[in-house]
Structure formats: structure tokens, C-alpha cells
A = this chain, B = another copy of it.
């Protein structure tokens, strides 16, 4: 009996293998990697002092692999565009809003494990989807290697789901778009620094967007500008100001 047949029909985890095969298009090698990719920190266990078995480390890895695959795609797709254009296009493709939407389209929302009681913040769930998407890329990379991940991303994700040429014309300055929208709607928007969660690196900036006093998006990064940008992006998504291609 082949390992593939065993996994899909006889393994005690056959339901999980099947679900992943249906969504991803291939049978996972090491199921544990995929389980970790879909495990939000709200349901993760501490495996050693200060480290949880959540998908956050895998997100770091997947983000890098995704960046590399998309860089090559754009490099080859646009042989006569300069590096400024390539950089901007990549940031549109891997923007949180785009990855959230991809994640939802692919049905990852049904796979993510999280504690819904702990995710009360309105926009958290949005970021949770894109984070899981990146973590999944990390899991595929660890399970199957670079070439496989590249093919998977290009053929299974980007080609059918990302309209690159529409993104070319999409404006993605979320902060200015948010501010314009608020002016138009007569609402007041403010960016306020908030405290980091306990135990978090003090080098991180956390910025929250308030629209008429309501928290609409939280951004965190190593520099304040990027944290603001991320917060604005999430607020745009939360307030449904943007439609991604």
C-alpha cells in the first residue's frame, strides 16, 4: 500500500490529510508542520520558556520564501521595469489585505485553530488569515522544499487568484486613503501609540487607528511609520474602504 493511500484512507489522521489535500492540491508529507501553520497563538502551548508552538515562527519563514518567489516572478514578468516598480508591485501582492483575501478564498478560515474568546478585537481575525497564509508557505517549504513551494505558489495560488495586471494600477497608500475616506465621511481619524503586550520586544511599535474614537486597526512593527501603515491597512480593510483585485 502506498504511503499516499495509507494517509488518505487508513491513517488515524485521514480526515486531516483529506481536508488539506482538497484545499492545497497535494498530500502533505509531515502533517505536524501544517497543524502548526494553522495554530494561532491563542490556542498554542508553551513548549519552552518564552516559546509557543504557534504559527508565528513559521510565518517569519513563509514570508521570506513567498517574497523570494514573488520577486522572481516579477523580475521575469517585467523585464523592462526598474527595481522601484518591482518592489512596489511585490508589496501589493504580499500586502496583508491581499493575503487575507487569498487565505479566505482558499478556505484557510476553516483550518485555522484559534480561541474565539480571546480574539475580541474586531480586526484581529483579518490579520490572522494572512498570517496563517504565510505560515502555510513556511510549512510547505519545510515539508517539500523550494521548487515545490514555488510551483505551488505560482500555479495553485497566484495564477488562478491574483490579478497582477490589475494590481499594477491599484493605489496602496492605505494611510492617505484612510485619511481621505474619513474626510469625505466627516469622521475623525487618529493614530495612537498603545502599549505592547507583556513580554513583547520593547523595540516594537504598536499603533492603533481610532475612527471617531472606535478602534479599527492595530499595527505593529520595528519602526513607527511601518506600524502606522499596517494599522491604516487593517483599518481600511475593517471599514471596507478597499477592494483588493
Contacts and interface: CB of A to CB of B under 8 A. Distances in A.
A91 to B, nearest CB: 8
Contact of A61 (B56, B63, B75, B85): B75
Contacts of A105: none
A51 B82 contact: yes
Interface stretch (A153-161, A179-187, A200-208): A200-208
Contacts of A61: 71-72, 75
Interface stretch (A9-17, A108-116, A222-230): A222-230
A84 B223 contact: no
Contacts of A81: 51, 57
A88 interface: yes
Interface residues of A, number: 44
Given A51-B81, A68-B67, A223-B226, A75 B88 contact: no
| Copies, count | 2
A19 to B, nearest CB: 26
A65 B70 CA distance: 10
A70 B72 CA distance: 17
A87 interface: yes
B83 A60 contact: yes
Interface in A27-72: 47-48, 50-51, 56-61, 63-65, 67-68, 70-72
A142 B204 CA distance: 36
